[in-house]
Amino acid sequence: MQSLQAERIGFASALLSNDCRETLPMHAMDEAIRLHHSLIRKLLAKHYGYESATEGDAFIMGFHTARQAVQFACDLQQQLMTQPWPEEVLKFHVSAPVWAQVRGI
């Protein structure tokens, strides 16, 4: 994986952080963290971001512009929906799929 050097903070720089909750069985949490971290690192490179720090399951990321940070966050949200999450993750109340029906269109 290519390492990016963080540039100086500027007027248009943006920081982004995230955090997962450790409320799942150990094996499911380990797999969820592996998927999560792998996806974040892949998308950081794609969106020209860099990993500033990690603490357990949380990331602090930097981007040269707010646009890059928002594009990263949107891409991450879309791709998080398609990960092969362990069954325990999908059954957990805060991460279970929710389906909406659009009416009146």
Domain boundaries of the chain, sorted by first residue: 14-91
Burial class (CB in 10 A: 0-12, 13-18, 19+), 62: buried
| 6 pLDDT more than 60 | no
* Digit-coded pLDDT (tens) for 32-67: 889 999 999 999 999 999 999 888 778 889 999 999
User: Is 3.20.20.70 the CATH number for 14-91?
Assistant: no
| Percent of residues, the chain, with pLDDT higher than 70 | 77
Over range 6-19, report the average pLDDT. 59
| 11 pLDDT more than 90 | no
The tokens 């290519």 sit on which residue? 2
CA distance 63 to 4: 11
| Percent of residues, the chain, with pLDDT higher than 90 | 42
Distance between start and end Cα atoms, the chain: 45
Q: Calculate the average pLDDT of the chain.
A: 82
Confidence of residue 86 (pLDDT cuts 50, 70, 90): very high
